[in-house]
Structure formats: structure tokens, C-alpha cells
Amino acid sequence: MTPFGAEEMSETEPPENPDFQPRSLPLQDLALPDPGVVHLWFMDLVELGNPLDPTAGIDRARFTPPQQRTLRRFYLRLLLGAYMGLPGKDVSISRAVRGKPMLDRRVHEPVLDFSLANSDGCCLVGVTSGALIGVDLELLGRRAGKPMSLAKRYFSEPEQAELAAIEAARQDEAFLYAWACKEAVVKAAGHGIANRLCRFTVNVSPESPPAITAMDDDEPAEWRMAVFRPGERHLGAIAVRNRALVLEGFRLVGR
């Protein structure tokens, strides 16, 4: 991938899809993203394995939520530490009022912003500097079951109308696309999902570029979005409150 610079990109032009180049452990001395650039890190925790017991394999079907949570925290701290010149164990993470993870400002300078999402034993981390950021990760082919019923509960009225206009055979795909975008936005804003998903509108059709078209409490023009495939089984989405968005993708692999 050869990303173009933020200064070369128009405000309406979508960012290039990242190709997720492999990066091997150990990670050391990672350069912070330039302004307007987001580093996306995709990790398959089953493939990476347990660093505390490298000889023990992980069965994806029996990979329990507590095990996944422990490994996510380990690799997240390892990654953030590589940007900050610290061992992972020295990275302190706190949570905002509604649960958004962030660097503990009592311990670290606010040199970067990040967001993490997980699905089916994999996780996605977005790293940037000086901008609100949210990422989401969804399993491709996931079916909503009753997409219109869920849309009436969680989507804005324009989103409901757009979904209803899509042929029934493709409504699950469109719902997943819109849901990933909306999750990324609420995670970036740090408000949590409750009572927030219907307060802004995104494009629902996968044929439309990912974008916020209306917001109750902010200007859509201040936000940029992207949807991408970090792996064969997943759909990823990112939202940043920044007028430029350049994506650089990496896949973390073992030694």
C-alpha cells in the first residue's frame, strides 16, 4: 500500500482500503501516526497464542471470554508500549465515564488515541494522534435475524427508510454494514450505545460510501469514516473526528 498524504485528499474522497501488511513480534520503537493518519492493527489471538505458555495451543471453539479478554489486554498494552517506548506491563489504561478506554493521564502524556474492537477471537486496534477514534469489528455473514425490527429499535428514521428500500435478501448485509459504522461512531464519541444510535444517521447501503449524514449534537463534516476487510472473516469500520483520514493497516503475527 502507498497511502496518499492527508494534504492531498479532498474532504469527500474516501480513504484507500488498507492491505494489512504483516508485522512480526517483538514490536519496538513504532513511530506515532502523522496527523490525519490512522494505524489499524488486526490480531488473530488464536494464531498469536498465549505468550505466558507458548507451547499451549488455543482452540477457537473453546476460547472463553475471560481468556480472550486477558490476551486482548496483553497485546493492546504491548502495542501501545511500542509506540511509547515502554514495556507493555508499564502501560496504564483507564476508562472514561462511559467506559471508553484511554491512556491513564495520571501516568502518561496524551501522545495517542486508540480504540479496540473484538469478534470471534480476533481484535482490531486503531491508533491515531489528536483525534477521537472508534473502531468496530464484525463477523462477515452475521445475520440480524429481523433487520427491520432491530432497525426500528436502534436506527434513525432515515436509516430505517433506506434499509426498507433495500431488497429483503440483502437487508442483513446492509444492517451489518450500518451497524458497524454506528458502533464505530459511538465508540469514538465515548457516549456508549444506550440512547445514542438513533441520534445520528449514516449511509446504510454497502454501495454507498461510509459517512455520517446527520448528527444531533455535532457537525457531520467534522467526521471521516471507512469500512474495510481486515481478514477473510471480518468486516471492520472506523470513525474519526478529523477532516482527513489516511489508513495504514498491519496484521500482527508471531515471532
- Angle at the Cα of 120 from the Cα atoms of 82 and 235, rounded to 5 degrees: 80
**What are the cell numbers at 109?**
502524556
Domain membership of residue 108 as a residue range: 18-253
Evaluate whether 166 touches 176 at the Cβ level (below 8 Å): no
- SS3 helix, strand, coil % of the chain, rounded to 5? 30, 25, 45
DSSP 8-class letter at 166: S
Check if the beta carbon of residue 89 is closer than 8 Å to that of residue 104. no
Does residue 141 lie in a domain region? yes
In a domain, 136, yes or no: yes
| Domain count across the chain | 1
Q: Per residue of the chain (255 residues), what is the pLDDT tens digit? A: 323 233 333 345 667 678 899 999 999 899 999 999 999 999 999 999 888 777 777 888 888 889 899 999 999 999 999 999 999 999 999 987 677 899 999 999 989 999 999 999 999 999 999 999 999 999 998 888 899 999 999 999 999 999 999 999 999 999 999 999 999 999 998 876 666 788 999 999 999 999 999 999 899 999 999 999 998 999 999 999 999 999 999 999 987
CATH number, domain at 41?
3.90.470.20
- For the chain, the farthest-separated pair of C-alpha atoms sits apart, in whole angstroms, at 52
- Does residue 186 fall inside a structural domain? yes
- What beta strand segments (E) does the chain contain? 21-24, 37-44, 93-95, 101-103, 113-119, 122-128, 133-139, 200-202, 212-215, 224-231, 234-240, 246-253
Q: What letter would DSSP give residue 240? A: E
Task: Name residues whose C-beta falls within 8 Å of residue 24's C-beta, 6 or more positions apart in sequence.
Answer: 253, 254, 255
